[in-house]
Structure 1
Amino acid sequence: MNFRKANEEDLQAIVRLLADDELGSQRERYEEPLPDDYYEAFTAIKAQVGNQIILAFEGQTLIGCLQLTIIPGLARQGMKRAQIEGVRVDRRYRGRGVGEALFKEAIAIAKSEECGLVQLTTDKQRDDAHRFYNRLGFLASHEGMKLIF
């Protein structure tokens, strides 16, 4: 398995992964051509320092992805933190350590950026994801809230 940062040519495959689960299929629009919103969002991600999509490959096949954002802050004595979002593993590769390897890669990047913690939110319906994050050492230490427009 190898990793690299996403580029625009990867968008179709990334959106396919994002849409390929029960919740993602309701939230994403995987179609050809991709809606312009995805290209605009990717351009904004690339322009923001510390924001990236990390891809996992087996050979030439995209098998997983996540978004990692390094966030500078004043709280906790100016500590930087890393935010992980949009985690997906191709259903054909689940249970093979892809997610864990992706997280190890993201955590290594966060440490290299001198972050003091890695945080994520996870939908309350994703029981399997909660068990996975707990197994990796993440603690449900805070209650997350969202205001969706």
Structure 2
Amino acid sequence: MSDLEFRRATADDIPAIVALLADDPLGAQRESPGDLAPYRAAFTELDRDPNQRLTVAVRDGRVVGTLQLTLIPGLSRRGATRALVEAVRVHPEERGHGLGTELLRWAIDTARAEGCALLQLTSDATRVDAHRFYERLGFQATHLGFKYPL
């Protein structure tokens, strides 16, 4: 994957990132690629937060993958900082070729370099293939997650 670049997302990447977010059954229900205004506002907030790493994988000048890594300082675990991975997406043409693995390795390496004691993620209960993928990478399903819609 030597022709692959991982870099911090820019505002110009928003359309490509949103398209990736919308390109699955769950994302198709909750994303609105035709109206980028809310994504631009959210990007502004993410971009100025030093604990956010909205990252894109770029090949031949095209965004082919993305994830968001959030650093969370805390008191538990002896004051440890943990990292949270969200919104891992790979372009359909890139799936099955190791890009997802490279994205998660980047997240693991970055979290380690930032001094994090733990890297965590959540995955929708219906994403069974994703669960197998994360387990193959060494993630363990140790907790039950809950959400409260606001």
- TM-score range for the pair, normalised by the shorter chain length: over 0.9
Equivalent residue, structure 1, for 2:29: 26
Secondary structure of residue in 2 paired with 1:100: helix
Q: 1:16-66 deviations in whole A, cap 9, x for unaligned?
A: 0000111100010011xx331111111111121110211111111211000
Structure 2: segments with no counterpart, 5+ residues: none
Deviations 1:58-115 (A, max 9, x none): 1112110000001100000000000000110011110000000011111111011000
Equivalents in 2 of 1:44, 1:61: separation in Å?
24
1:55 is matched with 56
CA distance in 1, matches of 2:74, 2:22: 32
The aligned residue for residue 16 of structure 1 is 19
Give the Cα–Cα distance (whole angstroms) in 1 for the partners of residues 142 and 115 of structure 2.
21
* Distance in 2 of aligned mates of 1:83 and 1:135: 18
Residue correspondences, number: 147
Report the AA paired with residue 37 of structure 2: D
Q: Which residue of 2 aligns with 1:40?
A: 41
Q: Which residue of 2 aligns with 1:67?
A: 68
Q: Which amino acid counterpart does residue 133 of structure 1 have in structure 2?
A: Y
Q: Are positions 1:89 and 2:90 aligned together? A: yes
Judge conservation of contact 2:81–2:118 (CA < 8 Å) in 1.
Answer: yes
Letter in 1 for 2:105: K
**Is the 8 Å Cα contact of residues 83 and 111 (structure 2) preserved in structure 1?**
yes
The match for 1:116 is 117
Identity within the alignment, %: 47
Distance 1:120 1:13 in 2: 22
> Which runs of structure 1 show a deviation greater than 6 angstroms over 4 or more consecutive aligned residues?
none
Gaps of 5+ in 1: none
Normalised to the residue count of structure 2, the TM-score between the two structures is 0.96
> Aligned AA for 1:94?
R
